[in-house]
Amino acid sequence: MRAFGKKVKNVKEGTYVGSDGQKAKGFWTSKGFSAQKEVLAAEEKEYLADCNLVPCGSGKGRMVFEDGSVYTGFFLNGLPDGEGVCKYVNGEVYKGRWKNGRPAGRGEYVYTNGLVLSGEWEEGKYIEQKTQAAPVSKASYAEGVNIYALIVGASRYDHFESLKYTDDDAYRVYAFLKSPEGGAVPEDHIRILIDESAIATNIYKSLDDIIAMAGPEDEVLVYLAGHGLQGCFVPTDSDGYRNRVEYEDIKNRLSVCQARQKLVIADACYAGSLLAAKSPMFESVDLFYKKLSASGGGTAFLLSSKSEEYSLESLGLRQGIFSHYLIEGLKGEGDTNKDKIITLDELYTYVYGNVREYSGNLQTPVLAGDMDRAMPLASIR
């Protein structure tokens, strides 16, 4: 069968005479007479084959997948192939090229929060950013200091149970870094990988990108939220054996990074195994960067749990417990000495106490590494 779009024929313009002699001009369609032009437009709209009922060998049609997601577009041999749009049950949308039932080629993925991931896709996975922002000069808020960040939120897995809040947690960290309190980090200093894009090759490539950009006075931040195994973070394309991101690889890459300050934050099970003229709005940003520039160097690892512990999510908080208190601490709750700067030591103290209490001592955050515990991480307006 060929399922091509078509228009309804035999729509004619005419005059209707009622029993009372009243006349009305309008359109005769397959459903009768109407004076409304909208009816004509509705009758002439494109017909789409229901590919759940009839085999769509080629051409255009519509299909509802088992999970309730709806695809509209072109088919080949009964599978989405060519240009098409899929509206997923969670409200997210992919629009672009398909092949053999999966996104492949140019396309864009629109998340429910409005973030758009645009570029090249292969076998349903995001592989390349369509455009990259032009390099910018050093941050204007403090001479010589830049922050570069990699943010990973993995929730929908091919071979593991899906997580509820890791993608949202990653977006919250991203939003914080973009805010004045987080340093107003420029867009092109951040690499953010969520779900389909949070695959092993992208994580390694993005980590190498920010390491290459960072200079001797800069800070590199890596945030990972998702499943974890002993000694590794689990990307969305991993089966637990292949495509793992080894913590040892992260440490080795950071060991050759020029940045004076390096911070790895991991919210994942067994995260502890890694240890093997400005406006008044930006006055706090000035203070933050001055403190950052004055602090000592080193590499810190702030981890959600010990090497033998699970990292827990909370239905009540609608976040990972660790990431919830991490972000609350960065937003100001961790400023114990009230100097409007949240340091690494203050943040850890705040997160440690609250996570232990909320989890009933089942989860224990860990801070380790060769670092300056006075490293500033955020400011308060």
Question: Do 183 and 298 fall within a single domain?
Answer: yes
In a domain, 334, yes or no: yes
Question: Do 361 and 239 fall within a single domain?
Answer: yes
> Of 129, 160, 191, which one is at a domain's C-terminal end?
129
Which domain CATH number covers 70?
2.20.110.10
pLDDT of 303 above 60? yes
In a domain, 141, yes or no: no
pLDDT of 25 above 70? no
C-alpha distances (whole Å) from 33 to each of 42, 114, 222 are 13, 43, 65
pLDDT at 301: 83
Rounded CA separation 251/115 (Å): 30
Give 131: exposed, middle or buried? Use CB within 10 Å, 0-12, 13-18, 19+: exposed
Least confident stretch, 139-153, 181-195, 365-379: 139-153
Q: Which of 131, 169, 174 is nearest to 150 (CA)?
A: 174
C-alpha distances (whole Å) from 327 to each of 188, 318, 356 are 22, 13, 16
Question: Do 183 and 318 fall within a single domain?
Answer: yes
pLDDT of 59 above 80? yes
In a domain, 208, yes or no: yes
Question: Do 72 and 91 fall within a single domain?
Answer: yes
Question: Do 82 and 55 fall within a single domain?
Answer: yes
pLDDT band at 34 (very low <50, low <70, confident <90, very high): low
> Of 129, 159, 185, which one is at a domain's C-terminal end?
129
In a domain, 28, yes or no: yes
Do residues 306 and 366 make contact, with C-beta atoms less than 8 angstroms apart?
A: yes
pLDDT band at 45 (very low <50, low <70, confident <90, very high): low
pLDDT band at 137 (very low <50, low <70, confident <90, very high): very low
pLDDT of 233 above 80? yes
In a domain, 313, yes or no: yes
Question: Do 32 and 53 fall within a single domain?
Answer: no
In a domain, 154, yes or no: yes
Token pair of 48, please? 């789409």
Rounded CA separation 295/287 (Å): 12
Write out pLDDT tens, residues 60-116.
Answer: 999 988 888 899 999 988 899 999 999 988 788 899 999 998 888 888 888 765 667
What residues does 221 pair with on adjacent strands?
Answer: 149, 263
Least confident stretch, 4-13, 94-103, 161-170, 240-249: 4-13
Do residues 94 and 86 make contact, with C-beta atoms less than 8 angstroms apart?
A: yes
> Of 81, 98, 129, which one is at a domain's C-terminal end?
129
Range of the domain at 71: 49-129
Do residues 120 and 201 make contact, with C-beta atoms less than 8 angstroms apart?
A: no
In a domain, 159, yes or no: yes
What residues does 129 pair with on adjacent strands?
Answer: 119
Question: Do 19 and 109 fall within a single domain?
Answer: no
Mean pLDDT of 234-244: 89
C-alpha distances (whole Å) from 355 to each of 271, 322, 342 are 14, 6, 18
Do residues 319 and 165 make contact, with C-beta atoms less than 8 angstroms apart?
A: yes
Question: Do 229 and 124 fall within a single domain?
Answer: no
Across the chain, mean pLDDT equals 77
pLDDT of 265 above 80? yes
In a domain, 168, yes or no: yes
pLDDT of 289 above 90? no
Q: Is 10 left (phi over 0), alpha (psi -120 to 50) or beta?
A: left
Side chain identity at residue 107, one-letter code: G
Token pair of 129, please? 């950013």
Question: Do 227 and 322 fall within a single domain?
Answer: yes
Which domain CATH number covers 151?
3.40.50.1460
Question: Do 167 and 60 fall within a single domain?
Answer: no
Q: Which of 363, 293, 329 is nearest to 173 (CA)?
A: 329
Q: Which of 111, 120, 104, 57 is nearest to 88 (CA)?
A: 111
For residue 335, what are the contacts with CB-CB under 8 A and spacing of at least 6?
341, 342, 346, 380
Question: Do 236 and 307 fall within a single domain?
Answer: yes
pLDDT at 181: 84
Task: Output the DSSP codes for 86-115.
Answer: EE-TTS-EEEEEEETTEEEEEEEEE-TTS-
Mean pLDDT of 288-302: 60
Tokens 């960072």 correspond to 214
Question: Do 151 and 118 fall within a single domain?
Answer: no
pLDDT at 22: 63
Indicate the number of domains in the chain. 3
What residues does 192 pair with on adjacent strands?
Answer: 151
Count CB atoms within 10 A of the CB of residue 15: 10
Do residues 94 and 85 make contact, with C-beta atoms less than 8 angstroms apart?
A: yes
Write out pLDDT tens, residues 318-372.
Answer: 788 888 999 899 989 988 889 888 888 899 899 999 999 998 988 888 888 777 7
